[in-house]
Structure 1
Amino acid sequence: MATTKKPTKANSALAKPVQPDEVLAKVVGSTPLPRTELTKKIWDYIKKNGLQDEKKKTLINADDALKAVFGGKKQVTMFEMTKLVNAHVS
């Protein structure tokens, strides 16, 4: 008898919708969305507003909306950004 493979599940933690708080909602909207989509919307916002540093692409320059998300910082690395954004979701 042949064994059937179970389909692999997507990481449920990434697929589970998270609720952006009031500060983050100014950037990504207020509806709950999966973390993958949240990250995509943040990057869309960064690119649309030209906030990625020209010389060092791993740095994000904050406008007023992102500065609130980044705890008042004017510039963060993309790795730091993930940690700071996580503080604004539930």
Structure 2
Amino acid sequence: MLRVLRGSRVLMAAAVRGGGKASVQSPNPTVVGAASSRTASTSGILKPVPVSPAMSKFLGGIPEISRTQAIKKVWEHIKLNQLQNPANKKEICYDEKLKAIFGGRDKVGFLEIAKLLSPHFVKAK
């Protein structure tokens, strides 16, 4: 028990000397350096791709967007217009704007949104 208390006193003294802020050293500095030196290139679902005219109209004329950003915009629209079923939050009731994108369906589960957006992303040739 005495050994534990001595260790905590040493740590506290170091924190006080450092202006009240304890500095933590990374055990592997190459990992930290690797994370901060990533390139700005995007790929996969983060890469902006061309979208269909219907999706572009929904997004306000944006000709290309990443899949994650498109899903985020759809969810913003759902939250802003309170389109979730209050009794079952997993169910989305569409308005006219979303019906144009999702083929005229009235209701859909929230897990289906990404699948229904997939046809609106034009494949690169």
> 1:31-69, CA deviations, whole angstroms, 9 ceiling, x for partnerless residues?
212111111111111111111111111111111111121
Offset at 1:26?
2.8
Unaligned runs of 5+ in 1: none
Identity of aligned residues (%): 35
Q: Which has the higher helix share?
A: 2
Unaligned runs of 5+ residues in structure 2 are 1-27
TM-score normalised over the length of structure 1: 0.80
* Equivalent position SS for 1:87: helix
Distance across 1 between alignment mates of 2:109 and 2:66:
22
Structure with max Cα Rg: 2
Of 6-15 and 57-66, deviating more is: 6-15
TM-score by length of 2: 0.60
Structure 1 vs Structure 2 CA RMSD: 2.4
